[in-house]
Every structure is written in structure tokens, then in C-alpha cells.
Amino acid sequence: MLIEKEKIVNAVNEALKAKERKFVETVEIVVNLRNIDFKRPENRIDTVIALPHGLGKPRKVAIFAKGETALKAKESNVLVIPPEEIDELSKNRRQARKVAKENHFFIAEAPLMPEIGKKLGPVLAPRGKIPQPIPPLSDPNPVIDRLRKSIKIRTKDRSTFHAPIGSKNMSPEDIAENALEVLKIVENKYENAAQNLKSVYIKSTMGPAVRVV
């Protein structure tokens, strides 16, 4: 374990003392890395993490599907995009960008992936939102449930990344456990993770950053 849970809980408690706002603020972790060559793609982090306690409110998921899969997805009250709308979206970039912005994750029946990549890849790929493929006629709801508790981390070529780990109305312990899940990614990614970890902060949307290490 890179950092003891108690240290993170203490930092979360301090961050939660920030002035109350008129909305429920997100709590995020800020991780600063060092001694890593991010020009090399294999050193970059690009992954989806399912947080053990979610974020206090579910992430938005959209699905490209038809038939039985589309019907099952509607049970989860997500945006269902039928195959015939893929071409329409590709011709209306403004609407495509809006859909990409409003949804955190996308999934798609595997046979639709080539068309999605060709027609919507230029909009979805730069945002890290290429759909996760699922088998045709499968039940998408387990994947939807997992993604609703998930976050995506992409370092690109930067040594610092921010990740949401909860909301101010969650318990400090739950937020800390979510933070540990993020740090596991760093620990598993780099051979000398302890040396590569420069500093870690916890902060709310509008509050000051509280240093953990």
C-alpha cells in the first residue's frame, strides 16, 4: 500500500471542512508523479476504475444497441442510440459532441464498433470515450451498473492527474477507500511506484487542496 488509509481519511476530513456551497461538491484526488517518461505511451495511465463506493451519484452511460439489448438497456434508464442514428450523429457534429459531453461512458454491441469507430471516432476518441464492446444480444445492465460507479483516468503526457473519488455528502471512510483504489492503479502500473509518487492531495470542487503526502 502506497499510503496508509488513516492518512487519507485525515486529509479527507480536513478537505470536507471547506466552506459549504449551494451544491454538493465533488471530492477529488490529485496525484503528482515524477521520474516517468510520459512521451512513451506505455508509461501513460489510461484505464477505467470501478470505485467500491461510487461517487455519490451515478455516472451517465449511453449504449449503441438494437433489439433485445436495447430493450434491456432501457430498463436501466440510459440513453439508447440505435444503429440508424450513428450516421445521423456523424453528420451533425454539434449534436455528437453534445452527446459525448453529457455521457461519461459508452458501450456498444460489438458488431457496431467498426461503424462507430469510422463515423464517430473523431468525436469520441479524443475524449477517451470509445465504447466498451459487449456481445450482441447480451444483457448490458451488469456493465451499466459497473460503469455508473466508475471513473476514467488518463495521464496523456502529463505527470499530474485529477480523479473524482466521491461527494461531500459521503463518509470520509468511503471516500478514502475510493482514493486507495485509484492509488492501486499507480502501484500496479510502475515498478518503483513509491519513488514515482511525488505528492497526493485531496480537495473538494471549490475548496483548498489538502496534502496527504
Give how far Cα 178 sits from Cα of 50, 92, 164, 193, Å: 9, 38, 9, 18
pLDDT digits (tens, 9 = 90+) for 5-20: 999 999 999 999 999 8
**What's the pLDDT at 103?**
98
List every span in the chain annotated with CATH 3.40.50.790.
Answer: 61-147
Report the side by side order of strands in the sheet with 26-33: 160-167, 26-33, 197-204, 210-211
Measure the N-to-C terminal CA separation of the chain; round to a whole number of Å: 13
**What's the pLDDT at 118?**
97
Tell me: domain 5-56+150-211, CATH 3.30.2420.10, correct? no
List every span in the chain annotated with CATH 3.30.190.20.
Answer: 5-56+150-211
Closest CA to 27 of 197, 208, 213, 186: 208
Phi, psi (deg, nearest 5) at residue 75: -65, -30
CATH architecture of 61-147: 3-Layer(aba) Sandwich (3.40)
pLDDT digits (tens, 9 = 90+) for 111-155: 999 999 999 999 999 999 999 999 999 999 999 999 999 999 999
Residue 163 and residue 153 in contact, taking contact as beta carbons nearer than 8 Å: yes
Residue 152 and residue 23 in contact, taking contact as beta carbons nearer than 8 Å: no
Whether pTM > 0.95 for this model: the answer is no
Q: Which three cell numbers stand for residue 115?
A: 461503424
Whole-number percent of the chain with pLDDT over 90: 98
Phi, psi (deg, nearest 5) at residue 153: -115, 125
pLDDT digits (tens, 9 = 90+) for 164-203: 999 999 999 999 999 999 999 999 999 999 999 999 999 9
* pLDDT at residue 1 tops 90: no
Q: Which three cell numbers stand for residue 157?
A: 503526457
